[in-house]
A and B are shown apart, each in its own frame.
Chain A
């Protein structure tokens, strides 16, 4: 069965990009969320296998969304999408329960390798 992915980013551009990288490689994007609140609601509803989570988003940041999702499911597999210069925020997200991170601009090989690694992790 294809791993089910929730993609959270306020930029449709970035959501498209992730989708185009991962869907041909056997992942299924089950929902796109445009902010942290939508991401938490979609996680609650769909229980995806993995979440890609942008950090800077309106309404609720990616870090706040990680905290809420981890409360719902401590074993949630969340990969942060960060830009260089956001190392402190990435560390905060990892401490809040995110499992790994990918850096923008996205490199397809790195995105796929990170998602596969996170899915294979024993939790």
Chain B
């Protein structure tokens, strides 16, 4: 596998997903019941998870997976709990942006962010979702 080529593809596609996610979160700020925006966030997290896992960027995979799990509840409900969810979702977006910047600048996997993964998992659990074992994809 031509790692440099896949890394470049990953950075390009992941940045597009994060830009879409950012727009979707701004939309959710205005309308907590925007199911299209909830779907965008879910799909972006899912896509980033799959790509990061393929390249062995486990810390990114973990955050993206926790965010994907976090979005399951809102997807089913068709809305987010704005006050409780939005700060965390923006934090996840910023966390992923930071991690991508590390990959872009160093070509290496970023450090894990257990606190962010934990916060996302805790919110997912509060939403009545079954907590998954860490590292599971």
Residues in chain A within 8 A of chain B (CB atoms): 10-14, 16-17, 20, 56-58, 83-85, 104-106
A14/B137 contact (C-beta < 8 A), A56-B43, A85-B132 known: no
A84/B9 contact (C-beta < 8 A), A11-B47, A13-B51, A20-B1 known: no
Partner of A11 from B13, B42, B137 at Cβ < 8 Å = B13
User: In the bound complex, do residue A13 and residue B54 qualify as a contact, i.e. CB atoms below 8 Å apart?
Assistant: yes
Residues in chain B within 8 A of chain A (CB atoms): 1, 5-6, 9-10, 13, 39, 42-43, 46-47, 49-51, 53-54, 65, 69, 132, 136-137
A56 surroundings in chain B (CB, below 8 A)? 42-43, 46-47
B10 surroundings in chain A (CB, below 8 A)? 13
Complex-state Cα separation, A89 to B5, whole angstroms: 31
A13/B13 contact (C-beta < 8 A), A83-B137, A84-B137, A85-B132 known: yes
Complex-state Cα separation, A57 to B44, whole angstroms: 10
Task: Tell me the interface secondary structure of chain B in the complex.
Answer: helix
User: In the bound complex, do residue A83 and residue B54 qualify as a contact, i.e. CB atoms below 8 Å apart?
Assistant: no
Known: A11-B13, A85-B136, A104-B50. 8 other contacts (CB 8 A): A11-B51, A16-B5, A17-B1, A56-B47, A83-B50, A83-B53, A85-B65, A85-B137
Complex-state Cα separation, A12 to B43, whole angstroms: 14
A14/B50 contact (C-beta < 8 A), A20-B1, A56-B43, A58-B43 known: yes
User: In the bound complex, do residue B1 and residue A105 qualify as a contact, i.e. CB atoms below 8 Å apart?
Assistant: no
Q: Which residue of chain A has the shortest Cβ distance to B137 in the bound complex?
A: A84
